[in-house]
Chain A
Amino acid sequence: MAGSAKGGFPRRDLSFEREPARRAFAGELRESRIHFREGDDEKSPTYVLLPTGERCNRVFLVGTLTEKKKQGEQNLFYRARVVDPTGTFFIMAGSYQPEAMQQIARIEPPAFVAVVGKPNVYETPDGAVLISVRCESVTPVDKDTRDRWVLDCARATLDRIGTLGTTPDGERAQKEYRADPALFLKMVYEALSQLSL
């Protein structure tokens, strides 16, 4: 909510920049392992480094909400699965995201949804790594918007693969993940192929 400056007063604080919402397929986001905080402050933004070489503090994704589950008693929260052509996003919304939680509560799966949220990397005690998106909003949309997103996400992913190793984040991703860009090209190709059907 920090982005909504109050109208009526001159805005002096031009230094604030809202973090853009990156586009990444489930097939790429689930491969992310590196996460870090920029700066020492408690409120400094945290980022997840995508294997194709871009930091993201926020993501925008559109897919099919296939399952939802209410959990907790005192601290009620929802977990849900959102599927795109390449895999599954795990999303959640708790009492700190009341708007998103109420939105999920009203959705009957399956449904196309647009999700804005912050990705987090969790490690389970047995060493497995999970990426979950803490939602700011989960809004039902139509198929057109889903298809538009697949194009948008494909373009963004191709752009990242194109500059892999040439930007500081791109270099870091190459060093840390040692991922084969061909795999991600294949993922994009297959996602697009499903559209043309």
Chain B
Amino acid sequence: MDYADTAARISQKVRAKGHEADTVKLEGKLKRLVEEFGVPPAEAERTVMNELSREFSINGLGTAAGEEKNLNQLTTGEWATVEARVVSLTSSPSSAIAQGGILADPSGAIRFVVWAKANAPPLSPGRWYRFESAVVDEYRGAANLKVHSGTVVKEITRDTVLIPEITPLHDLVPGIGSVRAKVVQEWETTHDRMLQSGLLGDETGTIKFVIWKEEGRERLTPGMVYTIYYAVVDEYSGRYSLNLNTATVIQDEGEITVSSGDSSFSGALVHIAPGSGLIKRCPVEGCNRVLSRQNYCPVHEIQPGFLYDLRIKGWLDDGRETKEILVQREMTEQLTGLSLDQARELAENNPLGMDEVFLRVRDRILGRYLTCQGREIDSRMLVNVCQFLPFNPDEIAALLNRAGGSS
């Protein structure tokens, strides 16, 4: 680790305030902190800086990266100085936290936390502040600004009007997001503290939303369109949800055509997995699990009164990527030309039984080109609509041009 750069940076800042610091001495201090005491370099820089500011009684000397930045330039693990407006305050779940909420500037928005130990003046919603030497770290996959005892907070006057950029639901990432969306579903609340949960949708997709019980929070009306500024986008095991407690929610006049969230994929069916074709399902209400050959359900044990079903589990491949697909009965019947009744008859009158149906299904669709539409869950596509992709001679000309054009 090279301490010369850091030392030079510190001495430069001190010089700017009219004092001199010995870089060799600074270097020694930094080295000792980092190498002997295992202090992270950024923290060591801050420690040395603070020591000097006390020594020279300089105020606002700040820290290592007291550099002024826009909110969208902040990266995890750095020190920063920002000027931003408090657009939202949330009640803090812990006594260690004095205040929490969302800060915004024209470039973007970020979550923030003021530690109780910071002794910072209470922030008021709607006001602008300058935060000197705050720390950026990561909380639930998104950047978060921490106001600690070393941070200098000053109220400032600004008349900038902030207009947050609306993000399509499909493009949301963990952090803060503003959306315009329609309430497409309302779900039963699963928790005492929950006011409302459900599904929001726009032209690009859908996302789960949650509102927790809090003073002044109101429920959304199903079917209505809302513009939602500064909601928190959370991620739980790969899926996003929108927490509206921080948000400013404005009812909107307009209408939105919500996308079904279906995606589409075309390719060749390169594999049919076991469990395709004719299967037996558990007849216990609400179970519907696939039974083993011995009519055994993993939950309800032996079930001689099973129900038959038809389906295809397989892999569709376009040469670049390959996707697992699950085709339900109706589409399976359409693709294979084999109805559930015919399949059952075949299985009951054939020495190979259900295997015979598997082989028929395989010979009819394996190696064929298909185009499928459906919902993707955990990288598996639940297919709603599926068709064979025919040979289209119109495509030849364009490909011939590509092949002939550059030779």
B122 within 8 A of A: no
Chain A, residue nearest B268 (CB): A60
With A3-B315, A18-B322, A20-B317 as given contacts, are A151 and B399 in contact (CB-CB < 8 Å)?
yes
> Which residues of A in the span 81-134 have a Cβ within 8 Å of any Cβ on B?
113-116
Is A148 touching B389 in the complex (CB atoms < 8 A)? yes
Is B395 touching A20 in the complex (CB atoms < 8 A)? no
- Minimum distance in angstroms from B34 CB to a CB of chain A: 36
Q: Contacting A158 at CB < 8 Å: which of B322, B366, B392, B399?
A: B399
Is B396 touching A114 in the complex (CB atoms < 8 A)? no
Q: Contacting B367 at CB < 8 Å: which of A17, A20, A116, A156?
A: A116
With A139-B366, A185-B407, A188-B403 as given contacts, are A3 and B324 in contact (CB-CB < 8 Å)?
yes
With A21-B319, A158-B402 as given contacts, are A196 and B396 in contact (CB-CB < 8 Å)?
yes
**Sample of 11 more A-B contacts, CB < 8 Å, known A3-B324, A114-B368, A196-B396:** A4-B275, A14-B238, A115-B367, A136-B270, A136-B271, A144-B390, A147-B391, A155-B399, A185-B403, A189-B403, A195-B396
Q: Contacting B362 at CB < 8 Å: which of A3, A14, A139, A144?
A: A139
Count of residues in A whose CB is under 8 Å from the partner chain: 47
Is B402 touching A145 in the complex (CB atoms < 8 A)? no
- Minimum distance in angstroms from A86 CB to a CB of chain B: 12
Chain A, residue nearest B378 (CB): A11
Interface set of B (CB-CB < 8 Å, partner A)? 238, 268, 270-271, 273-275, 289-290, 298, 313, 315, 317-322, 324, 362-363, 366-369, 378-379, 389-393, 395-396, 399-400, 402-404, 406-407
Q: Contacting A196 at CB < 8 Å: which of B315, B391, B393?
A: B393
Chain B, residue nearest A156 (CB): B319
Is B367 touching A139 in the complex (CB atoms < 8 A)? yes
A186 within 8 A of B: yes
Cα distance A20–B315 in the bound complex, in angstroms: 10
- Minimum distance in angstroms from A140 CB to a CB of chain B: 7
Cα distance A76–B398 in the bound complex, in angstroms: 45
CB-CB under 8 A from A39, the residues of chain B are none
- Top 6 nearest A-B pairs (CB, nearest first) are A114-B367, A4-B273, A189-B403, A188-B403, A147-B391, A139-B367
Is A116 touching B270 in the complex (CB atoms < 8 A)? yes
Chain A, residue nearest B273 (CB): A4
Chain B, residue nearest A183 (CB): B407
- Minimum distance in angstroms from B82 CB to a CB of chain A: 36
With A4-B274, A148-B390, A195-B393 as given contacts, are A62 and B403 in contact (CB-CB < 8 Å)?
no
Is A14 touching B379 in the complex (CB atoms < 8 A)? yes
Cα distance A11–B238 in the bound complex, in angstroms: 12
CB-CB under 8 A from A114, the residues of chain B are 268, 366-368
